[in-house]
Chain A
Amino acid sequence: KQEVTQIPAALSVPEGENLVLNCSFTDSAIYNLQWFRQDPGKGLTSLLLIQSSQREQTSGRLNASLDKSSGRSTLYIAASQPGDSATYLCAVRPQRDSNYQLIWGAGTKLIIKP
């Protein structure tokens, strides 16, 4: 059974630092992996989606990498800002699933201190 883990559960860093969030999964047979952002009291916003054949995706200050063989993905945030404070979740779509179900990590709560 696919399991997704995100460590640490919470992270606090000063503004301006570069930081890395981690996501690991137990079964390398995935179709893709997504990173989402969740703001308090709001829904989830998709940040980046990496297909299983890709190694990384970039959007602005965000860069997500995928190492399928080791079951790991990282989300790199450059020059962090207070507005980046949110909970970041990763989710994988198992390869054998035909219904587009996602398996989710519990998230990393990120606080950027001004």
Chain B
Amino acid sequence: NAGVTQTPKFQVLKTGQSMTLQCAQDMNHNSMYWYRQDPGMGLRLIYYSASEGTTDKGEVPNGYNVSRLNKREFSLRLESAAPSQTSVYFCASRTGSSYNEQFFGPGTRLTVL
């Protein structure tokens, strides 16, 4: 079991460029999440997917789009990157139990110049 995997690990973009962050989980979880983590702040939810075929906005969705491609994969797209999107991005998936345990990927460190 690889758990939650994310690609790429690092990325540098120029302002206005686009890119997609990939996330996959092999734990058969229904729910998946995208967070961003900025220095001195807690993680903030960008988008989540409660189940295959559904997506919903989180706390900070502006400038992002997501796709729940299938049960395993949940991608995050930046259509026109801005320096304010420089951050570390984490993908997570959740067990189906009421305990709400979330499992996290290793993160993608994105710098927008």
User: B74 an interface residue at 8 Å Cβ cutoff?
Assistant: no
Do A101 and B58 touch across chains, with their CB atoms under 8 A apart? yes
Q: Does chain B have a CB within 8 A of A9? A: yes
Chain B count of residues within 8 A CB distance of the other chain: 24
> Is A41 on the interface with B (CB-CB < 8 A)?
yes
Q: Are A44 and B90 in contact (CB under 8 A)?
A: yes
Name the contact of B107 in the complex, choosing from A9, A42, A49 (C-beta under 8 A).
A42
- Residues from chain B with Cβ under 8 Å of A88 in the complex: none
Is the beta-carbon distance between B44 and A104 smaller than 8 angstroms? yes
Does A32 make an interface contact (CB < 8 A)?
yes
Of A43, A51, A99, which contacts B48 at CB under 8 A? A99
Total of A-B residue pairs, C-beta within 8 Å: 57
A43 and B106 in contact (CB under 8 A), knowing A49-B100, A100-B94? yes
Could you tell me the distance between the alpha carbons of A41 and B101 in the complex, rounded to whole angstroms?
21
Judge whether A101 and B48 touch: CB under 8 Å. yes
Cα distance, A49 to B43, chains bound together (Å): 17
In the complex, the answer to whether B4 meets A9 with C-beta atoms within 8 Å is no
Task: Considering the complex, give the chain B residue whose CB is closest to the CB of A51.
Answer: B99
- How far is the CB of B50 from the nearest CB of chain A, in Å? 6
Contacts of B53 in A (CB 8 A): none
| Interface range on chain A (Cβ under 8 Å from partner) | 20 to 34
Those of A24-75 within 8 Å (CB) of chain B: 31-32, 34, 41-46, 49, 51
Q: Interface digits, B58-89 against A, CB 8 Å rule (1 contact, 0 not)?
A: 10000000000000000000000000000000
Question: A112: CB under 8 A from chain B?
Answer: no
Distance of A46 Cα from B100 Cα, bound (Å): 11
Interface residues of A (CB under 8 A from B): 4, 9, 31-32, 34, 41-46, 49, 51, 89, 91, 93, 99-107
Q: B: which residues have CB within 8 A of A?
A: 4, 31, 40-45, 48, 50, 56, 58, 90, 92, 94, 99-107
Nearest 7 A-B pairs (CB), nearest first? A104-B42, A43-B104, A44-B104, A104-B43, A43-B106, A106-B42, A100-B100
